[in-house]
Amino acid sequence: LHLLAYGVEVTHPRFLVELARFQGVRQNRIREMVACLNRLGIPLAAEAVFRLANCASPGRPHVARALVSAGLCDNLDEAFARFLKRGRPAWVPKYKMAAGDAIDLIHDAGGLAVMAHPGLNRTDDFIPRLVSAGLDGLECFHSKHSTALSERYLMLADRHGLLVTGGSDCHGYNKGRPLLGTIRLPYEHVRQLRHRLRRV
């Protein structure tokens, strides 16, 4: 599952240490993926991926874009289907932090922890345990949530006393036009989130 961190103090020492560690892990994962591609005879350099990503936390979409940019795949879908999806030859599992540890880190840095796109995770049974671990909210409104799913998670949020958030899950131009700003939610939920952040 994915957790969103709202209102964290980005200069918090522990937060910075963990962030740097994860960035290093993600960069090493890119190197491993590129090494897999190289063993298949695909002449892609890790530095090409890093240049294209232009960030400290690159991921598979950046490898896919580098493959397309180098003319090694026709499009992103092909890059994922041939090489980068789970079970394909250049897929490398990513390191994951335990949810309870992530919630603790977010709280330690003064933020609120929200479960992202619960309708995509198929992990509803974990929600009560996450609430016990300090989960603050659910992303009930999401670009891939149907109205029925949003209603389901609104009810779950109400049942567990959780904040309600919404988001497009925008990843830039990786999947066509950016989704930023395409999700709307009642402003009362934003107001409640801001109120809780002031109290943290």
* Cβ-contact 163, 189 below 8 angstroms: yes
**Phi and psi angles of residue 82, each rounded to the nearest 5 degrees, phi first:** -80, -35
The predicted pLDDT at position 199 comes to: 72
Residues in CB range of 130: below 8 A, 6 or more apart: 99, 103, 115
Give pTM, 2 decimals: 0.83
pLDDT range class, residue 74, cuts 50, 70, 90:
very high
What integer is the mean pLDDT of 58-73? 96
Q: What is the pLDDT of residue 182?
A: 67
Measured CA to CA, the distance from residue 24 to residue 69 in angstroms comes to 24
What mean pLDDT do residues 47-67 have?
95
Mean pLDDT of 131-139: 96
Other beta carbons less than 10 A from residue 103's beta carbon: 23
SS3 of residue 173 by DSSP: coil
Q: Which residues pair with 142 in a beta bridge?
A: 167
Using pLDDT thresholds of 50, 70 and 90, give the confidence band for residue 183: confident
Count the alpha carbons within 13 Å of 28 in the hemisphere toward its beta carbon.
Answer: 9
190 pLDDT above the threshold of 60: yes
pLDDT (tens digit, 9 = 90+) per residue, 89-125?
Answer: 999 998 889 999 999 999 999 999 999 999 888 889 9
What local confidence, expressed as pLDDT, does residue 180 receive?
67
For the chain, the average pLDDT equals: 91
**In whole angstroms, how far apart are CA 27 and each of 21, 39, 86, 93?**
10, 19, 18, 13
